[in-house]
């Protein structure tokens, strides 16, 4: 069984985070995800990648029960897992579209900020970065992505207040680009991935846009 089953759709790879009802994260899952993304990066699909969640949630972030049970070694493994997974997602050279199908909490927001375009299903579910409330400070790679991915005012609001936003509110915060009906989410996301990827200069422009952030991420992982 994999936590990240894939489906190929005319040159686009759909990756679906799959872990129980809430799609929570834990070290083993993060390590598998990082390895899978690194393989995709070596042979990126022509039509880009769509990342979504199974069921009713994109991801509700770290599994709190597992996190609370970790000893010092386990905690270091969890932080390394988040760093490696987020780094692999941010470094993907091909088009990446997040198809947010439901609650996206904590690490889910970081995953969204790694995307080149974010579609979210219309609804009243919540999106946010409540690490302060959960007592789980951002690992360094996630913090770097946050620093480059959100403008300062919203970075402060979301990181320090633990406020949660609806998908429509998240557009104003820079966490979502547009909302679509749930039934159209995957089709629209695949179409956008193909549209982005079809531009002759897309990969070069993405590389330029992320050069400084990726250099900081490299320095963190090499430390």
Q: Please, which residues bridge with residue 6 across strands? A: 15
The model's pLDDT over 95-133, given as tens digits with 9 standing for 90+, comes to 999 999 999 999 999 999 999 999 999 999 999 999 999
| CATH (domain of 112) | 3.90.226.10
1 in any annotated domain? no
Number of structural domains the chain divides into? 1
65 in any annotated domain? yes
The model's pLDDT over 48-106, given as tens digits with 9 standing for 90+, comes to 999 999 999 999 999 988 888 999 999 999 999 999 999 999 999 999 999 999 999 99
Nearest-angstrom CA–CA distance, 29 and 21: 15
Nearest-angstrom CA–CA distance, 74 and 60: 20
52 in any annotated domain? yes
Nearest-angstrom CA–CA distance, 214 and 220: 10
How many residues appear in the chain? Answer: 223
Nearest-angstrom CA–CA distance, 85 and 59: 14
Give the residue numbers spanning the domain of 161: 6-222
Which helix (H) or strand (E) segment holds residue 180: the answer is strand 178-180
- Grouping H, G, I as helix, E, B as strand and the rest as coil, residue 215 is helix
197 in any annotated domain? yes
Cα–Cα–Cα angle for 101, 99, 80, rounded to 5 degrees: 95
């Amino acid at each position: 069984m994999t936590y990240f089953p894939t489906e190929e759709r005319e040159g686009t790879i759909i990756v679906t985070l799959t872990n129980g009802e809430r799609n929570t994260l834990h070290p083993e899952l993060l390590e598998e995800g990082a390895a899978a993304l690194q393989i995709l990066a070596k042979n990126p699909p022509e039509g880009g990648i769509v990342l979504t969640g199974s069921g009713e949630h994109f991801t509700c972030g770290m599994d709190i029960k597992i996190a609370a049970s970790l000893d010092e070694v386990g905690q270091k493994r969890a932080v390394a897992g988040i760093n490696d997974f987020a780094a692999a997602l941010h470094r993907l050279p091909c088009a990446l579209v997040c198809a947010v199908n439901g609650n996206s909490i904590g690490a889910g927001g970081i995953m969204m900020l790694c995307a080149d375009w974010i579609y979210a299903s219309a609804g009243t579910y919540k999106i946010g970065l409540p690490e302060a409330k959960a007592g789980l400070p951002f690992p360094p790679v996630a913090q770097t992505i946050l620093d480059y991915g959100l403008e300062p005012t919203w970075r402060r609001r979301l990181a320090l207040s633990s406020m949660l936003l609806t998908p429509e509110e998240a557009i104003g915060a820079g966490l979502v680009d547009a909302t679509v009906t749930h039934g159209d989410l995957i089709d629209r996301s695949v179409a956008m991935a193909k549209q982005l990827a079809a531009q002759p200069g897309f990969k070069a422009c993405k590389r330029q846009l992320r050069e400084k952030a990726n250099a900081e991420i490299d320095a963190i992982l090499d430390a």
